[in-house]
Amino acid sequence: MKTIREIEKSLNNKEISSVELTRETLRVAKEKDQELASFLSFSEEIALEQAKSADNLRAVDKEVCWLTGVPYGLKDIIVTKDVATTASSKILEDFVPPYNSTVYDRLLSVKGVLLGKNNCDEFAMGGSTENSAYQKTKNPYDLTRVPGGSSGGSAAAVAAGLVPFSIGTDTGGSIRQPASFCNVVGLKPTYGRVSRYGLIPMGNSLDQAGPITQTVEDSALVLNIIAGYDPKDATSFKKELPDYSKNLWEGVKGKKFGVVREYLNEGVDKEVAEIFKKALKTIEKLGGEVVDISLPRSEQAVSVYYLVMSSEVSTNLSRYEGIRFGKSRDHFGPEVKRRIMLGTYSLSSGYYDAYYLKAAKVRRLIAEDFQDAFKKVDFILGPTSPVLPFKFGEKIDDPLQMYLCDIFTVPQNLAGLPAISIPSGFVGKLPVGLQITANHWQEEELFKAAFAFEQETKYFEKKAEGF
């Protein structure tokens, strides 16, 4: 699959029209997806209509947007008017939304082409996409392994070349971890950067939508369109938006990268730690300075996350009562029920202070740790996931073990920070991601650092065999 920039060029040069591109992309995607199962649905008719409209615009306007006429996927937790949106749950099996999410509206406004909706864990709860009520998405780099989650369909689809980009959502790592497992680029923006309007909510104080792409430049190009204040989301921020793709080449010379050494001792696969150490060498070679830092409260991050998130889940999912839309509550899958139960318990009378409130207090300390760190460094580096992509069924029956795999990705959601996962090497054929975290609103800096690493290493060029 070509990158967004490359597709833009061929559309501009009239090598191909958007309708032709969309037809061909659909044909290939449908064929490859029989094995991969990364899409829950293809919206063929709508895609061709949108492609035609993009071609018409391009015919009269030379200055169209880089996404005009470019096909993409949306995680099926992003609400699309008149296009079924299931959250990969049986409870929303027959739900056809009467309105659009702002993310989709923005992509409509520049005439992107919605190819279909990507599979994910049910209500975005999980780290392997095995919790989808419909199908198991495979990892294109090893079909016996999971693609990560919860945005596993999006990551697998981009990695296998079905679409140049897909939009995922990230509550505790759900964009970054599947990006790491599938050798693609996944960005979780600052909380408040991208409107949450029309994202089926999981943890309102944690959720963010963001791009999953093949390259860092593509990630910047997509963020340029979906970011920005939205009156429909009271937690979105009125803040100036830079052109994220403009200064990518500025590099990292003189920038300071913080590393938490104690992270690498416990619970991290040896091979993952080795690849991370190699990545540090690359950063130094590029002129960055690697500095030891400590984030003492990160040890508690997973515990804070699972109490805060599940509390928000139990409140959020009370809306599914089978009256206004959707089916009855017995259509929830096991992980969703588990989190509703956990959250209901944490919020119930007599336990609220000890669980939810205590967690919210430790959350503040975690956020303060990051602010202390950012007085000394520009970025924080770490592996995205402590483990390699695992086999189907390997962790699904042990929720606590599965939860502990989120150790490197949940702190950023708790603190509202932007972070990106980029390809950083392979163990055999299995990809390993590098995570770069920056302070609030520093996505532009994040892209520059990620781009420098990407251009030096070019791991994104190694595509999955057979795709």
Helices of type H across 286-385: 301-316, 334-347, 358-373
Query: Do the beta carbons of residue 99 and residue 65 sit within 8 Å?
Result: no
Does residue 300 belong to the site contacting another protein (CB under 8 A)? yes
Query: Do the beta carbons of residue 420 and residue 436 sit within 8 Å?
Result: yes
Does residue 279 belong to the site contacting another protein (CB under 8 A)? no
Angstrom distance (rounded) from CA 421 to CA 49:
34
Please say which residue, 111 or 363, places its beta carbon nearer to another protein.
363
Q: Least distance in Å: CB of 201 to another protein? A: 14
Does residue 294 belong to the site contacting another protein (CB under 8 A)? no
Angstrom distance (rounded) from CA 247 to CA 361:
38
Does residue 137 belong to the site contacting another protein (CB under 8 A)? no
Please say which residue, 143 or 365, places its beta carbon nearer to another protein.
365
Amino acid at 170: D
Rounded to the nearest 10 degrees, what angle do helices 301-316 and 358-373 cross at?
A: 130
Does residue 263 belong to the site contacting another protein (CB under 8 A)? no
Would you put residue 337 in left (φ > 0), alpha (ψ -120 to 50) or beta? Answer: alpha
Site string for another protein, 409-448 (x = CB under 8 A): -----xxxx----------------------x--------
Angstrom distance (rounded) from CA 261 to CA 247:
31
Does residue 96 belong to the site contacting another protein (CB under 8 A)? yes
Q: Least distance in Å: CB of 107 to another protein? A: 21
Backbone angles phi, psi at 75, to 5 degrees: -55, 140
Contact region with another protein (CB under 8 A), list: 217-225, 231-239, 285-293, 388-396: 231-239
Active-site residue list: 75, 150, 174
Among 66, 95, 244, 408, binds another protein (CB under 8 A): 95
- The 3 state secondary structure assigned to 248-286 is HHHCCCCCEEEECHHHHCCCCCHHHHHHHHHHHHHHHHC
Among 66, 141, 191, 447, binds another protein (CB under 8 A): 191
DSSP symbol at 116: E
Does residue 234 belong to the site contacting another protein (CB under 8 A)? yes
Among 299, 393, 458, 461, binds another protein (CB under 8 A): 299
Contact region with another protein (CB under 8 A), list: 36-44, 61-69, 344-352, 374-382: 344-352
Closest by CA position to 202, among listed 409, 366, 26, 343: 343
Please say which residue, 282 or 344, places its beta carbon nearer to another protein.
344
Contact region with another protein (CB under 8 A), list: 106-114, 163-171, 215-223, 341-349: 341-349
Among 31, 109, 281, 341, binds another protein (CB under 8 A): 341
**Residue with the two structure tokens 């949450």:** 196
185 forms bridges with which residues in the sheet? Answer: 213
User: How many residues at the interface with another protein, by CB under 8 A?
Assistant: 61
Does residue 266 belong to the site contacting another protein (CB under 8 A)? no
Is the dihedral angle over the CA atoms 222, 227, 232, 236 positive or is it negative?
positive
Binding site for another protein (CB under 8 A): 94-96, 98-99, 190-192, 205, 231, 234-235, 237, 297, 299-300, 302-304, 306-307, 314, 318, 321-326, 329-330, 332, 334, 337-338, 340-342, 344-345, 348, 354-355, 357-365, 367, 399-400, 403, 414-417, 440
